[in-house]
Structure 1
């Protein structure tokens, strides 16, 4: 994950200063054919590129709307993929259009024309990794992740279809997304090879007479080394 930070301090949502205890994560996609982060995140930090229309979301009410999310995933000016955190994770966002604003972290994936598999796979992977990061941060599981459309079905979000309008075009769904998050969380729980416990054996003697070896073994066990043994070469 290529995680960066540019908090939208000029957005009215940030200025409201309300906090939440995150209980879940809501996945959104922007619904506009523009994969570049500079459309929503600004001003330019040298990596984003300049938004010539200055219609990014780091203003009081972008496009006259009360909208703000915790992060965006999309392209930098050089075409590489990144995640930009745009609100503190425990800040109450304006992304769900319902009570999920009080409980869920929300992030947007910048849509393109919805046909580029390379771009989709890259941002999908970035989104999975972001959710794994947030799950670990707030002790959540893949079961706590929903799409905006699922929030609507539960009565906690407005009537939007994202990201169901995009994921199936590339053989994915929120179910596969949750499964991929679960898999990565599980892999992260396993100790790395370098972290696995290693054992070192210490030889305390070498004897040509078996009785002497047995006598030394008895002394070792009496001293507390109950797993000591004799190896015959």
Structure 2
């Protein structure tokens, strides 16, 4: 799977910057015959009158190429309901060989091409969801963890949509089968030793790629120390716990490294703080400030302005 970071920084959802602690994953299908994920990523990363009012965390296409459009610790506007506050939202592309005839009904212009695309995006989504379940310690078979937009609607946590089963049912694919396949993909990558927590890591280079940055950051901050030779002793469960803890902290108190990262409501006042040298970067970044610290500085600035009659 090729993962391409293409954050939709011009999207109102990105600019709002609301925090998310993922407790589940929601699967969508885009509802238009567009097979190219890059086209969709570009579409949602543009300024429009009033700005784009919807955004998902990413788009995945048939060959496994995946464009991530929001950080997973940022709340997406993907389902029109309360699941925005709990679930990561992922869209699958749809084949160019179908034509919508109204609502969720569609006509197949090339059955072989359509089936190849649908089954390809299904397999790619299984792989991606298995990775996300590992990263966020989610059980794909637990109730409400992996749901479709249609299932979200039935639960009252999403708007009324029929995806992706409106497209899948012609090929015998179901959400129950999808959840089972995600669980099977996760189990396939686990060894008996991993299940028994016998795998241990003595060097950062030995830690799985998805966790190396977290472990390195904790060591640099002094929160994790090795022995006199710089060697560590971490189990897989310990590594997973560190990653989840770091992501939870980041979601609750995100850090901004540039003015473009700052939520839209705070950007003008942040720029004023920069202009009067009250807020500076760290030599590598334009900024290096947490949400809590920035909020406190803005409150103080407003108090000063009020006292000065501004």
TM-score (norm 2): 0.54
Q: CA deviation at 1:81?
A: 4.0
Aligned residues: 177
Equivalent position of 2:30 in the other structure: 30
Question: For the residues of structure 2 that align with 1:83 and 1:62, how far apart are their CA atoms?
Answer: 28
Higher helix share: 2
CA distance in 2, matches of 1:86, 1:25: 15
- Among candidates 91, 102, 115, match of residue 108 of structure 1: 91
Distance 2:40 2:135 in 1: 25
Give how far 1:185 is off: 1.1
Map of 2:150 onto structure 1: 149
What's the counterpart of residue 56 of structure 2?
Answer: 69
CA distance in 1, matches of 2:129, 2:173: 16
Does the residue aligned with 2:165 lie in a helix, a strand or coil?
coil
In the TM superposition, structure 1's runs of 4+ consecutive aligned residues that sit over 6 Å from their partners are: none
CA RMSD of aligned residues (A): 2.2
Matched, 1:137 2:124: no
Distance 1:62 1:128, change over 3 A: farther
Structure 1's unaligned 5+ residue stretches are 43-55, 198-233
Cα displacement (A) at 1:191: 4.7
Deviation at 1:170, TM superposition (A): 1.5
Higher relative contact order (CA 8 A, sep 6+): 1
Does residue 1:87 correspond to 2:70, yes or no?
A: yes
| Cα displacement string for residues 76-96 of structure 1 (whole angstroms, at most 9, x for unaligned residues) | xxxx44111110011100001
Task: From the CA coordinates, give the structure whose radius of gyration is larger.
Answer: 1
Structure 1 176/57 Cα, relative in aligned 2: closer, same or farther at 3 Å? same
Q: Give distance in 2, aligned partners of 1:160 and 1:126.
A: 22
Match runs of 1:123-202 below 5 Å: 123-142=121-140, 143=142, 144-191=145-192
Q: Distance in 1 between matches of 2:118 and 2:153?
A: 24
